[in-house]
Amino acid sequence: MAKAIKKQALGRGLSALLNDDGSSHSHASKSAAQFVALSLDQIKVNPYQPRTRFSESALKELESSIKALGLIQPITVRETKDGYYELVSGERRYRASKNIGLKEIPAYIRSANDQELLEMALVENIQRQDLDPIEIALTYQRLLEDVSLSITELGDRLGKDRTTITNYLRLLKLDPLIQSGMRDGFISMGHGRSLINIEHTEDQLALYEEILDKKLFPMTLGGEHSITPGCIVPFTKKYKNICLLHFDAHADLRQSYNGEKFSHASAIRRCLDYKNVSLISFGIRNISESEIPFLKTNSSRINIFWAKDKKKWNLSKFKKLIKNKTVYLTFDVDGLDSSIMPATGTPEPGGLLWDETLDIIRIAAKNSKIVGADINELSPIKGFNSYNFLVAKLAYKILSYKFLY
């Protein structure tokens, strides 16, 4: 039986979210979600759940968190005709609560038909940061087909541009074996996008096997900095710890920007959502006030070499920090000084110059294991190819140092 939870247990923010006027209800309203305590035995899983894999280690972490702090975020359900409740969102929370022997769980009850249930489950799922590229692609596909949205409508609802959605959907053209490898973290989305351009499936599979056998070095070129959280996912799964070596004019530690948590201004914050990721940044000279609390809270795994202190940089300290680490290198070209790199969306003075940039990359290559890289945010200026050449040479230098040392 559903038990209404008293208003004082909600807190001001939650009350506002539920439009709580102080009254309590035991049944779902047609117009608003109700907040109740449900018996776990009354709950059924969502038959439209797009997520097919649940990490055992992540589930164990959630179980420990619930034991220590309780369930911070309630699940969402809908009431069914047989008197049970069907999950809309929160299956991991439901599973973890059941695993540790809880009898009840806080829940929102809201009214939804099958079509609305499917759309809510899909949209809630796609907002997670730990999805693999194939899960994202399959969710986009279901929203297009089962909810009958156009790509434009889907983009408007999710805050994604048409190109991003199309790039994910194209991954579904890959052979199932390659898709499986991407889901398991053996290859990155960048690898997958390259393989799509190979016409014959047998040739795709041959190159896929070569990537796995030779452990080729993935480097992603182009796009804005929001590509990095996706590029780093396979490495967070493959390695116990990964150090992000970050070149940029901006910290990119915002929780969200213009309502979008996967914005270029939130790229490094999304990478740090993975607890096994640490950060070393060079060239930062622009940070917003909203980023400071996160920076302070996570100071044990964030080291920033500020551009304003460039004359005082101690690269011996950097050498010790990077020593024997597994490193993913991400390079936003606006980390370079605007005098040598104006061809970017947000050029900033006071940045890195060419030789000092190479010194840092060389130290990293000599003292750590660089396993992947991306270079982003180049915005070519028509008629000025020297900036494009500079970025091409930067890619060449990263690869040279990687395989030379």
pLDDT in tens, 114-163: 777 777 767 766 666 567 888 888 888 888 887 788 898 888 877 888 88
What CATH number is attached to the domain comprising 204?
A: 1.10.10.2830
Residue 91 designated active-site: yes
Q: Whole-angstrom Cα distance, residue 186 to residue 328? A: 15
Alpha-carbon dihedral angle through residues 80, 83, 87, 91, given to the nearest 10 degrees:
-160
> Which of residues 158, 189, 215 is at a domain's end?
215
Contact (CB, 8 A) for 247 and 374 = no
pLDDT per residue as tens digits for the range 7-49: 333 333 333 333 444 333 333 344 456 788 899 999 988 776 6
Q: Whole-angstrom Cα distance, residue 388 to residue 397? A: 14
What CATH number is attached to the domain comprising 247?
A: 3.40.800.10
How high is the mean pLDDT of the chain?
85
In a domain? residue 119: no
The range of the structural domain enclosing residue 348 comes to: 217-404
Pairing of strands 3-4, 34-39: antiparallel
In a domain? residue 122: no
Alpha-carbon dihedral angle through residues 358, 360, 363, 364, given to the nearest 10 degrees:
-110
Q: Whole-angstrom Cα distance, residue 171 to residue 194? A: 10
Catalytic residue among 79, 86, 91, 119: 91
> Which of residues 197, 215, 233 is at a domain's end?
215
* Number of domains composing the chain: 3
Whether the CA torsion 21, 27, 33, 37 is positive or negative: it is: positive
pLDDT per residue as tens digits for the range 266-302: 999 999 999 999 999 999 999 999 999 999 999 999 9
In a domain? residue 66: yes
Q: Whole-angstrom Cα distance, residue 241 to residue 235? A: 9
| pTM of the complete model beyond 0.75 | no
> Which of residues 62, 90, 113 is at a domain's end?
113
